């Protein structure tokens, strides 16, 4: 007996055997059981999700000898002939090869005649969007008011190309792409039934490559069985699909997490030895970053059956969430611009090096005096030097023994108050009050602060700020706030100056980037600074 491909051998014969599409199956089952049948059904969706299969099962349900039912017997003559594709009252038409209006008129000539064997004469028109406008016009009247023994089942991957007049005459069901888990489970079931040895990660690779299409997944499974000699190993499937070993992608992310530029370049060089598709590699890198971001927010979303789940959870703890988001955004832009690079490997390297170059400095707040505002462009692969830890200040924590606060000279007022503000657990309006105050004088337990007139409405939080100071020092503290223009910088002004400094440094780095320079020279690109909340 000739070998039958898996996509045909495992084609569902009834609704319970269908994988996914429960929203469509529920509607059709209820309609069949309650005898509320429409004369025209339109099934839409991407390739390989079950449009034609559902249409054939529906034709079987309409013509089963035991009666109209959502669960055809599969044993009667009508069911068997429909399964074998030789039922005379099921007319299947490939609209891609019969687009002319003459073909449609010829098809409709026999609509008026009763079915030969079955209960209904069913017209199954596949890829109906390929019909010409004249063909649609010829079909319209019959589609709207067909004889009672006629049912139209239309299937298409591109419903936008159908005229609104046709859409309005049909019940439309949109079939969804199948989730990765559904396809993996179905492939596992088939591999067990076919007695094929397999590794679960290998099946996941096939399911991922199918991109939501179960038929594509079964075709790939057939190819994988032939490639692997009746065994499905992850390394062999990866080679067959042209995808990269997941460990290579994880090594790249580990180098990014460690800020290890030399190690990153070594991994890229090792990767280039296999002549990969760098566009696809960057896509796989983005997929792993997306998993890491999910693991940081909801760790339970990571499938424990995934062989890399432990590594992903570990990386989720090592990399800051803002770094993950930055890497992902730079990777997306790099993937878009990769075709513009003179060399794919060079474009890939620049994308990953850009992730290191634009990785933000430590976000810890630390005061900067006005005299130290020199802007220096950061070296792209230089190690990031963290800001001094707040724990290094001379102020004791709340768990320390109570100490008296020292008297501070006026030359140190700015740094003293800014450092103290950063140390205190401030929130909301209390924080707004503290960061917009400047220290005028500090004598023992008395703090004399100056608040700008524009922020005077926050002075009502003075008592709460005083309470936090008392908890911090372990002794009574007294705040005296007067409303006048500060003569020294407030912590808010200092933080704004730090941000401006970093922005200027970033702009210098962007302007000196070789890739940006080439874009400006060849494509007349311009650098535009977009201000926060500008809406531009």
**HSE of 20 in the Cβ direction (CA atoms, 13 Å)?**
21
Residues 161 and 206 in one domain: no
Residues 287 and 421 in one domain: no
Domain membership of residue 305 (yes or no) is: yes
Looking at residue 28, its pLDDT comes to 94
How many CB atoms within 10 Å of residue 247?
A: 12
Domain membership of residue 272 (yes or no) is: yes
Residues 426 and 454 in one domain: yes
Structural domain boundaries enclosing 146:
6-174
Looking at residue 410, its pLDDT comes to 44
Residues 328 and 267 in one domain: yes
How many CB atoms within 10 Å of residue 249?
A: 22
Residues 93 and 210 in one domain: no
Domain membership of residue 113 (yes or no) is: yes
* Residue 451 CB contacts under 8 Å (≥ 6 apart), including other chains: 433, 436, 437, 458, 459, 481, 482, 483, 484, 486
Looking at residue 534, its pLDDT comes to 46
- Please give the tally of structural domains in the chain: 4
Q: Assess contact for 57 and 13: CB atoms under 8 A.
A: yes
Residues 79 and 196 in one domain: no
Handedness of CA 272, 276, 281, 284 (dihedral sign): negative
The pTM (predicted TM-score) of the whole model is: 0.59
Residue with tokens 């007294």: 478
Q: What are 154-190's pLDDT values in tens digits?
A: 999 999 999 999 999 999 999 999 998 899 999 999 9
Encoded tokens for 346 = 């060079």
Nearest to 289 by CA among 312, 273, 266: 312
* Residue 173 CB contacts under 8 Å (≥ 6 apart), including other chains: 23, 24, 27, 28, 41, 42, 43, 44, 54
Say if residue 399's pLDDT is above 60. no
Looking at residue 376, its pLDDT comes to 40
Domain membership of residue 515 (yes or no) is: no
Domain membership of residue 510 (yes or no) is: no
Q: Under DSSP, is residue 276 helix (H, G, I), strand (E, B) or coil?
A: coil
Domain membership of residue 318 (yes or no) is: yes
pLDDT bracket for residue 26 (50, 70, 90): very high
Residues 298 and 323 in one domain: yes
Q: What is the CATH number of the domain that holds 45?
A: 3.40.50.300
Between 335 and 510, residue with greater pLDDT: 335
**Strands 438-443 and 446-451, how do they pair?**
antiparallel
Nearest to 434 by CA among 372, 477, 388, 370: 477
Radius of gyration of the chain measured on its C-alpha atoms: 34
Residues 165 and 188 in one domain: no
Say if residue 373's pLDDT is above 50. no
Looking at residue 185, its pLDDT comes to 92
- Residue 462 CA from chain centroid, whole number: 46
The backbone torsions φ and ψ at residue 7, rounded to the nearest 5 degrees and listed phi first, read -60, -30
Residues 20 and 131 in one domain: yes
Which of 128-142, 204-218, 234-248, 279-293 bottoms out in mean pLDDT, i.e. has the lowest?
234-248
d(CA 511, CA 507): 6
Q: What are 300-350's pLDDT values in tens digits?
A: 888 776 767 888 888 998 898 989 999 999 999 999 999 999 999 999 999
Q: What is the CATH number of the domain that holds 464?
A: 3.30.300.150
Question: Distance of CA 234 to CAs 188, 197, 251, 270, 271, Å?
Answer: 14, 11, 18, 20, 18
Between 508 and 316, residue with greater pLDDT: 316
Q: What is the CATH number of the domain that holds 306?
A: 1.20.272.10
Q: Report the helix count and the strand count for the chain, using DSSP H and E.
A: 22, 10
pLDDT bracket for residue 494 (50, 70, 90): confident
| Among candidate residues 357, 375, 405, the one where a domain is terminated | 357
Q: What are 99-110's pLDDT values in tens digits?
A: 788 888 888 888
Domain membership of residue 301 (yes or no) is: yes
| Among candidate residues 130, 150, 174, the one where a domain is terminated | 174
| Among candidate residues 147, 174, 201, the one where a domain is terminated | 174
Q: Assign residue 303 a region (left: φ > 0; alpha: ψ between -120 and 50; beta: otherwise).
A: beta
Domain membership of residue 403 (yes or no) is: no
Encoded tokens for 312 = 């992903």
Q: What is the CATH number of the domain that holds 237?
A: 1.10.8.60
Q: What are 377-398's pLDDT values in tens digits?
A: 444 433 334 444 333 333 434 3
Residues 215 and 280 in one domain: no
Cβ burial, residue 141 (10 Å; 0-12/13-18/19+): exposed
pLDDT bracket for residue 58 (50, 70, 90): very high
Q: Under DSSP, is residue 306 helix (H, G, I), strand (E, B) or coil?
A: coil
Looking at residue 305, its pLDDT comes to 67
Q: Assess contact for 459 and 451: CB atoms under 8 A.
A: yes
Residues 70 and 36 in one domain: yes
Instruction: Give the single-character DSSP code of 194.
Output: T
Residues 164 and 219 in one domain: no
Encoded tokens for 345 = 């490997």
Looking at residue 125, its pLDDT comes to 92
Instruction: Give the single-character DSSP code of 29.
Output: H
pLDDT bracket for residue 535 (50, 70, 90): very low
Encoded tokens for 242 = 């042209």
**Strands 40-44 and 197-198, how do they pair?**
unpaired
């Amino acid at each position: 007996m000739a070998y039958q491909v898996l996509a045909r051998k495992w084609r569902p014969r009834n609704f319970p055997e269908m994988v996914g599409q429960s929203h469509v199956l529920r509607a059709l089952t209820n309609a069949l059981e309650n005898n509320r049948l429409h004369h025209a059904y339109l099934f839409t969706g991407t390739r390989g999700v079950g449009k034609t299969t559902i249409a054939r099962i529906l034709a079987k349900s309409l013509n089963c000898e035991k009666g109209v039912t959502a669960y055809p017997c599969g044993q009667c003559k009508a069911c068997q002939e429909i399964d074998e594709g030789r039922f005379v009252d099921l007319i299947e038409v490939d609209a891609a090869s019969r687009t002319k209006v003459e073909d449609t008129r010829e098809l409709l000539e026999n609509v008026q005649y009763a079915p030969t064997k079955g209960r209904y004469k069913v017209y199954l028109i596949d890829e109906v969007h390929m019909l010409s406008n004249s063909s649609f016009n010829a079909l319209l009247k019959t589609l709207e008011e067909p004889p009672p023994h006629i049912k139209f089942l239309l299937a298409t991957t591109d419903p936008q190309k159908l005229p609104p007049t046709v859409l309005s005459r049909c019940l439309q069901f949109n079939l969804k792409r199948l989730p990765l888990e559904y396809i993996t489970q179905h492939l596992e079931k088939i591999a067990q039934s076919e007695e094929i040895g397999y590794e679960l990660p290998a099946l996941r690779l096939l399911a991922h490559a199918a991109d939501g299409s179960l038929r594509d997944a079964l075709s790939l499974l057939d190819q994988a069985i032939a490639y692997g000699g009746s065994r499905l190993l992850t390394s062999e499937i990866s080679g067959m699909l042209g995808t990269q070993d997941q460990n290579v992608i994880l090594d790249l992310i580990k180098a990014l997490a460690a800020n290890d530029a030399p190690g990153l370049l070594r991994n890229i060089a090792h990767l280039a030895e296999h002549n990969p598709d760098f566009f696809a590699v960057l896509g796989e890198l983005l997929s792993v970053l997306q998993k890491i971001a999910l693991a940081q927010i909801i760790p339970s979303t990571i499938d424990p059956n995934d062989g890399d789940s432990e590594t992903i959870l570990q990386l989720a703890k090592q990399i800051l969430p803002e770094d993950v988001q930055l890497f992902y955004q730079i990777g997306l832009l790099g993937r878009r611009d990769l075709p513009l690079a003179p060399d794919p490997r060079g474009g890939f390297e620049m994308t990953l090096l850009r992730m290191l170059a634009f990785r933000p400095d430590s976000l810890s707040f630390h005061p900067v005096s006005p005299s130290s505002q020199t802007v220096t462009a950061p070296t792209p692969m230089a190690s990031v030097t963290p800001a001094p830890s707040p724990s290094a200040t001379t102020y004791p924590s709340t768990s320390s023994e109570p100490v008296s606060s020292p008297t501070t000279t006026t030359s140190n007022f700015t740094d003293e108050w800014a450092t103290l503000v950063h140390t205190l657990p401030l929130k909301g309006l209390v924080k707004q009050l503290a960061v917009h105050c400047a220290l005028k004088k500090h004598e023992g337990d008395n703090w004399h602060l100056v608040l700008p007139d524009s922020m005077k409405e926050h002075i009502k939080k003075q008592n709460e700020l005083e309470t936090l100071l008392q908890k911090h020092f372990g002794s009574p503290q007294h705040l005296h706030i007067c409303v006048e223009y500060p003569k020294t910088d407030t912590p808010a002004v200092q933080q704004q100056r730090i941000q401006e400094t970093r922005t200027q440094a970033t702009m210098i780095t962007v302007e000196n980037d070789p890739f940006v320079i080439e874009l400006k020279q060849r494509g007349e690109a311009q650098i535009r600074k977009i201000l926060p909340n500008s809406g531009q």
